[in-house]
Amino acid sequence: MTDAEVRGCGQGLEVSGLTVTFAGLTALEEVSLGVAPGEVVGVIGPNGAGKTTLLNAVCGFVHPRRGTISYRGRRLHRHRAHHLADLGIARTLQGVGLWPTLTVLENVMAGAQAAVRSDLVSSAFGLPRSSREEGRLRARAEGLLARLGLAALAGRLPHQLPYGVQKRVALARALAAEPSLLLLDEPASGLGERDMDDLRGLLAELRQRMGVMLVEHHMDLVMAVCDRLVVLNFGRVIAAGTPEQIRANTEVTTAYLGEEVARAGGT
């Protein structure tokens, strides 16, 4: 992706010249990309290409050796994961990462805690302001569960649910923070065909309210929902463009994506 394309993302996410090293090994090298509001950008490539490292750098789990990360025109420097909600960023993990002793409803409510407006004193003593805030968060969580077809499972614990359902709960928890940028790390892993269709529809709906960066191996989903794709290999961007451009890139389809891209495109 060119510098001009990155700058064109305006008030979205802008990553420029990002280099990350671990113990002398380069995990990412001069990676640039952008995600504009209302855009779905897919990050694809083989295992070990640096996709999750890229997400971790954006989230503040790791810090780059070189390069910059900006969001909404604000440079993110030495930020931490607990700053994400205040920045308007939410993320799901490759696994589910749900709290095992909390119910589905409680897990989703926990995702909205960054938006809590009650102060520590009112929360500690259960004063009316805290009660009103809890009611507001509960209503938001219940609305998300209903929207994702999970309302009947609100009182269940994560281990009582199939893996695909747990993934939907994790997504609901991320959405509870009302982000303007959603980072999804392999949301389709472990999903059946029906769940994949639901996810495809949900992503089409979410793009109306937020930018989405999607790390995913399921090429049919990627090709269907993404506006642009960035292909990583050995920590470098080897291609970037629309799904059609990536599908037509012989090097990418042959070396990294095999026949899946062609099948996803109906060719």
Pairing state between β 66-71 and 74-75: antiparallel
* pLDDT reported for residue 23: 87
CA atoms of 240 and 262, how far apart (whole Å)? 17
Question: What are the start-end ranges of the E strands in the chain?
Answer: 13-22, 25-35, 40-44, 66-71, 74-75, 89-91, 181-185, 211-215, 228-233, 236-241
Q: What is the distance, to the nearest Å, from the Cα of residue 65 to the centroid of all Cα atoms in its chain?
A: 23
Domains along the sequence of the chain with CATH: 1-88+179-267 (3.40.50.300), 99-178 (no CATH)
Place of tokens 């308007």: 88
- Please state, as a whole number, how many other Cβ atoms lie within 10 Å of the Cβ of residue 108: 30
User: CB–CB of 71/57 below 8 Å?
Assistant: no
Structure tokens at 94: 């490759």
* pLDDT reported for residue 255: 56
* pLDDT reported for residue 191: 83
160-210 residue pLDDT tens: 999 889 999 999 999 998 999 999 999 988 888 888 888 999 999 998 899
Question: Angle at CA 159, nearest 5°, toward 144 and 170?
Answer: 30
Mean pLDDT of the chain: 85
CA atoms of 9 and 36, how far apart (whole Å)? 4
Place of tokens 């696994």: 95
DSSP bridge pairs for 20: 28
CA atoms of 41 and 209, how far apart (whole Å)? 15
Question: What are the start-end ranges of the E strands in 47-120?
Answer: 66-71, 74-75, 89-91
Q: What is the pTM of this model?
A: 0.84
CA atoms of 77 and 247, how far apart (whole Å)? 35
CA atoms of 182 and 248, how far apart (whole Å)? 28
Structure tokens at 101: 């002793």
74-114 residue pLDDT tens: 898 888 877 888 889 999 988 788 999 999 999 999 888 75
Three-class SS state of 21: strand
